[in-house]
Amino acid sequence: DAGVTQSPTHLIKTRGQQVTLRCSPKSGHDTVSWYQQALGQGPQFIFQYYEEEERQRGNFPDRFSGHQFPNYSSELNVNALLLGDSALYLCASSGTRGDTQYFGPGTRLTVL
């Protein structure tokens, strides 16, 4: 039973560029949450998707957007990248009732 998968593992972008990160949830899960983890900090909640809609959003600017597909996989898009967007981006999946979240390995984004 595959767990949560994320791609790519690492990527490097330059300021002003746009990036798309991808996540496939654990089998049987339909809810996907995204988190940003800066170096030395705990993960910070970006948003959660359920039934292809954004259900809850953390304190992140509109440059951060997402999408959920009918197969429950999800994308995180970040526009106009800033140096401060360099972080580990984590995806977590859970069942319909928003219970226990299981995390993927993360995508390490470096913005130069």
Partner 1 sequence: DAKTTQPPSMDCAEGRAANLPCNHSTISGNEYVYWYRQIHSQGPQYIIHGLKNNKTNEMASLIITEDRKSSTLILPHATLRDTAVYYCIVRVNSGYALNFGKGTSLLVTP
Give the count of beta carbons closer than 10 Å to the beta carbon of residue 112.
10
Residues in a beta bridge with 21: 76
Is there binding between residue 36 and partner 1 (CB under 8 A)?
no
Burial of residue 40 (CB within 10 Å: 0-12, 13-18, 19+) is: exposed
The 69-108 site mask, x for binding partner 1 (CB under 8 A), equals: -------------------x-x-x----xxxxxxxxxx-x
Stretch touching partner 1 by CB under 8 A, among 13-21, 54-62, 63-71, 76-84: 54-62
Q: What's the half-sphere exposure (Cβ side, CA atoms, 13 Å) at 53? A: 3
Q: Return the number of the residue (20 or 103) whose C-beta is nearest partner 1.
A: 103
Among 24, 48, 68, 93, binds partner 1 (CB under 8 A): 48
Contacts of residue 5, Cβ cutoff 8 Å, sequence gap at least 6: 23, 24, 104, 105
Which residues of the shown chain bind partner 1 in the complex (CB under 8 A)? Answer: 4, 33, 35, 41-45, 48, 55-56, 58, 88, 90, 92, 97-106, 108
